[in-house]
Structure 1
Amino acid sequence: MRQRAVSLLVAALLVLSGCTLGPGGPSLDDGGGDPVWTGDEDNPFRQETLTVAVVGSANESRDFTPLVRQALDYWEANSEQYAGYPIEYRLVANDSDPDVRVTFVESVAACGTEEHAAGCAPVITKPGQFDPPVSVEVRTGFSDESTVQVLKHEFGHSLGLNHGDAPQAVMQASSTLTTPPQTDASERALPWRSETLSVYVDVSALPASERDEARRQVRGALGYFADGAEGTVPENVSFVRTDNRTAADITIRATDESPCSTSSGSCGYLLGSDPDGDGAREWYTRLEITVTDLDTEAVGWHVGRWLGVGFGLEGEEYPEPLREGASYSERRSDWWE
């Protein structure tokens, strides 16, 4: 089924975090107080090569090791330019005594002052801060590309970079992240995340003598879809009324002036989310239906047509009473009975 109407493409805008460690950690001397490090003084690790281990994962079905390798390759090529010293990494899937331990988790509870972060790592700027293993946490559930993006960011923190430091494309404080490919809403039997949808109805713009009939029309259309719309939508769909317009899944309003290009009739606006960033909505999140200057007896038919849009129907997929070929009188009948 093709998509129609305007969609709002929403991916996850998440904080990419690091936390600053205070002084502490091992003493880096030879016992006599004299430093033994003769390499780059900007290198707080006092090691030219760090062993990195990928230890466990909240998602055992994915192999994150190649993604970690991509992030490490990036910093091997760029650490001297941005962190001020060169670094090399030795990646081992499971090492009992690594310098850096990467763990993929379902959620990062907190990272410094940040909550709901996509990842977390300490900001290491001084030798005394390096107390192996350095812990790098990254949330699962992101696409490969976004996972590498988070890994680059968190390894940048471990190299001493803060938010706002160059390169901005890597170290910016927040970023839009996407999930692995998901089924599009148009391919789902139920394109909403819940089978129970909240509905806000406002017919106050109609003359008082017409409001009861308009409400009856809306109830008829909703009841028809709650009963399965002749097998075109899942039978477990139900609707609950709400007085909270902003929180409603579906809004149905009568207005004096149409927000559409026509002066009378109906129009709808379908919103959705695109967590995998492929340009197609994976879930519908809101359906706004507006009727303007209609015969009250035709309100239910127009609402029914737009409800069909909200369930991905088009053309001959519509049940017969709601097809475009319905006559003038059929549109004004109790077609839902």
Structure 2
Amino acid sequence: MSSRLPTLAVVALLLLAGCLGSLADDGGSSDVPLPGSSSTSTEQNDATATTGTNPWGDDPIVVAIENGDEPDREFAPLVRAATDYWEENADEHTGFDVSYRVVPDAENPDIVVQFVDDVPNCANVSHAAGCAPRITDSRQIQRPENVSVRTGLSDESTELVLKHELGHTLGLDHDDEPADVMAASSVLHTEPRPNASERDFPWADPEFTVYVDDENASDPDGAREQVRHAFDYYEDGADGSVPGNLTFEYVDSPDEADVTVRFSDGSACGGNPGSCAVTSGPDPDGDHEVERYERLDITLVDLDTAAVGWHVGTWFAHGLGAEESEEKPEPFQDDSYRNQHSNWWE
């Protein structure tokens, strides 16, 4: 049997905004004060932003920290790294110097950085990684101003979100430099998570949708019957070797499918008769390993119809995490020609 199983790592893209998140059509909520802030005209804001006047004044900006969602995680070093960045770079990008004092439990802070599981509504921006008011005029400020940052991100991504949001509090917008910090969107990663290969069950749920493309099958009806034998076997529990709650629904579009089965008479799978498969899914923690499988694409090349079910069943076992032959259900541990062409499901 010819087989290969590359794994596709799909980087999770979390969009950011005044907010660092998915953006509203007007460019994001950072262009307006947070509710309750003093509002000033656009003309006043633009003038202040371009004259290099620090809206916070000359004293250090006192930054407090509230962390109710990840109490065992120390965020203060990341906040200090972000404030250090702006102490070094604010003059170049805003036209004024700035200094900070990070005091996690400060009683009268200028800014409170809140680490939250879900960033509050940021002018209708959904799934934001962070949110902050864009401060361009001292009359906007109502101390303490709140900066929200989503928990669950890696240290590197958390620090990026902090830099971005603090940039807004210094008057910077999404079109401003430094572009790598103030861009409206960025690739962020979560804290480390188990990979699909490390999970007992590598899918999000046991309910599978299946698409069968039998266009190149020599016997389409027979091929579909074989595919059903494979998935019926798993739905019946595979002789106790898999969870007993697996279900399979056949769909009419590959876009709707968790599992696709295609037949090829071309160069797929190395150009030899046999089969191959690809698993794919998200990589939210950025370790170049898929966290959970979202797709299993099985390709069958020039197979006898009687062997189709065995090949599909073998690859589905792999999709459930069975890397070695002895980990697979018993019918798929024997890859002999006779077994592949037998009624192994009986």
Q: TM-score, normalised by structure 2?
A: 0.84
Instruction: Give, in angstroms, the shift of residue 174 of structure 1.
Output: 0.9
CA gap of 1:22–1:213, structure 2 versus 1, over 3 A, is: closer
> CA-to-partner distance for each residue in 1:271-293, whole Å, 9 max, x for gaps?
12111111111111101112232
- Please state how far the C-alpha of 1:41 moved relative to its aligned partner: 6.2
Equivalent AA in structure 1 for residue 323 of structure 2: E
1:74 lines up with 2:75 in the alignment: no
Structure-1 separation of matches of 2:225 and 2:32:
64
Alignment coverage as a number of residue pairs = 320
Secondary structure, aligned partner of 1:221: helix
Q: Which stretch has the larger CA shift, 57-66 or 117-126? A: 57-66
Query: Using the alignment, how far apart are the partners of 2:162 and 2:203 within structure 1?
Result: 32
Of residues 28, 33, 49 in structure 1, which corresponds to 2:60?
Answer: 49
Shift of 1:221: 1.1
Q: How far, CA to CA, are the matches of 1:196 and 1:266 in structure 2?
A: 24
Q: Which amino acid aligns with 2:6?
A: A
Structure-2 residue corresponding to 1:319? 329
Q: CA RMSD in A?
A: 2.5
- Contact 1:17–1:117 under 8 Å retained in 2: no
More helix by share: 2
Please give the alpha-carbon distance, in whole angstroms, between the structure 2 residues aligned to 1:161 and 1:247: 42
2:205 to 159, 182, 194: 194
Match of 2:341 in 1: 332
Aligned equivalent of 2:180, options 156, 169, 191:
169
Aligned partner of 2:100 among 68, 89, 92: 89
The question of 1:108 aligning with 2:109 is answered no
Q: Deviations along 1:195-215, whole A, 9 cap, x unmatched? A: 2111112324335xx333222
* Residue of structure 2 aligned with 1:117, choices 114, 128, 148: 128
- Structure 2 residue corresponding to 1:295, chosen from 300, 304, 312: 304
Quickly say closer, same or farther: Cα 1:332–1:22, change in 2 above 3 A: closer
Counterpart residue identity of residue 169, structure 1? D
Q: Measure the CA separation in 1 of the matches of 2:286 and 2:243.
A: 27
Tell me the distance in 1 between the aligned counterparts of 2:188 and 2:5: 25
Aligned in 2, Cα 1:26/1:109: closer, same or farther, shift over 3 Å? closer
Q: Residue 64 of structure 1 corresponds to which residue in structure 2? A: 75
What is the rounded CA distance, in whole Å, between the counterparts of 1:133 and 1:15 in structure 2? 23
The answer to whether the aligner puts 1:266 opposite 2:267 as a matched pair is no
The 10-residue stretch of structure 1 (139-148 or 9-18) with the greater mean CA deviation from structure 2: 9-18
Tell me the amino acid that sits aligned with residue 136 of structure 2.
T
Residues 20-77 of structure 1, C-alpha deviation per residue, up to 9 Å, x if partnerless? 23696399xxxxxxxxxxxx96111124211111124333332322221221121122
Match of 1:16 in 2: 17
CA change 1:51–1:327 in 2 (3 A) is same
Mapped contact 2:78–2:158 kept (Cα < 8 A): yes
For the Cα contact (< 8 Å) 2:5–2:276, is it kept in 1? no
Gaps of 5+ in 2: 20-29, 41-50
Q: In structure 1, the residue corresponding to 2:15 is in which secondary structure?
A: strand
Secondary structure at 1:307 match in 2: helix
Contact between 1:258 and 1:264, CA under 8 Å: does it hold in 2? no
- How high is the TM-score relative to the length of structure 1? 0.86
In 1, Cα distance between the equivalents of 2:272 and 2:337?
A: 19
Q: CA deviation at 1:258?
A: 4.9
The amino acid that maps onto 1:81 is: E
The 10-residue stretch of structure 1 (280-289 or 66-75) with the greater mean CA deviation from structure 2: 66-75
Q: 1:26 to 1:195 in 2, by over 3 A?
A: closer
Q: Give the gaps of 5 or more residues in structure 1.
A: 28-39
Aligned-partner Cα distance in 2 for 1:336–1:84: 74
- In structure 1, distance between residues paired with 2:89 and 2:286: 28
Which letter maps to 1:241? Y
Aligned to 1:277: 286
Q: Deviations over 1:99-128 (max 9, x none)?
A: 101111222243236332211111111222
**Is 1:305 the counterpart of 2:314 in the alignment?**
yes
More strand by share: 1
Deviates more, 1:194-203 or 1:313-322: 313-322
Does structure 2 conserve the Cα–Cα contact (< 8 Å) formed by 1:79 and 1:87? yes
